[in-house]
Amino acid sequence: MDRLDDAQLIGLIARGHEWAFERLLRRYRQSLMRLLYALTADRALAEDLFQETFVTLVEKASSYQPTGSARHWVFTIARHKALNALSESHRRRARLLAFAGADASSGRTGANDSSARAANAELQAAFEAALGDLPPVVRACFVMQRFDRFSHAQVSRLLELPLGTVKTHIRRARDHLRRELRPFMD
């Protein structure tokens, strides 16, 4: 059953197989949450949108046509959910640093912590803050390419942006991160 591809799982979901839904949900959890969080910069909203994505997936599974990539179809549903949520509310500008601050104790160093751990936590917080400074679409392009290993062309198709725009957004994100993280580089 681990050999089933995404399109086969979607077909099984359409026929009411709950185990197929759970398997697909696990496959996409991490990468979809990264995308949704990159677009919204709001962890709670990203979680809600992740759930809404899979509700929509179940509702539309029977109409899925496996002519294209199932992964693209799932990510397109998630992207539409995120962009609709952002257009409904302009207050979705929370910074990624809020995500790091969700567990306040993880960023603090105690007497037993090494200086390396403290430096790493400081770098992580600086990285998340710098990433949070980017506009959502720029942040999404960077996160999808860097962390989810999508090609530039795949990011272009998933976000429905011209390829040149995706490349520019990724270069802009890298340049911004280099500038902001320069104090941490030796």
Average pLDDT value for residue range 102-124? 58
For residue 184, pLDDT beyond 90: no
What distance in Å separates the CA atoms of residue 52 and residue 149, rounded to the nearest whole number? Answer: 24
Q: Which two tokens stand for residue 133?
A: 């400074």
Q: How far is CA 183 from CA 122, 178, 179, in A?
A: 11, 9, 8
For residue 33, pLDDT beyond 80: yes
End position of a domain, from candidates 25, 54, 88: 88
Q: Are residues 19 and 59 both part of a single domain?
A: yes
Number of domain units in the chain: 2
Per the CB < 8 A criterion, the answer to whether 150 and 31 are in contact is no
End position of a domain, from candidates 40, 68, 88: 88
What distance in Å separates the CA atoms of residue 104 and residue 156, rounded to the nearest whole number? Answer: 36
pLDDT tens for residues 155-169? Answer: 898 888 999 999 999
Confidence of residue 175 (pLDDT cuts 50, 70, 90): very high
End position of a domain, from candidates 44, 64, 88: 88
What distance in Å separates the CA atoms of residue 93 and residue 90, rounded to the nearest whole number? Answer: 7
Average pLDDT value for residue range 75-86? 84
Average pLDDT value for residue range 92-103? 37
> What CATH number corresponds to the domain at position 30?
1.10.1740.10
Greater pLDDT, 3 or 89: 3
Q: Supply the range of the domain harboring residue 142.
A: 97-181
Angle between helices 70-88 and 6-14 (to 10 degrees): 70
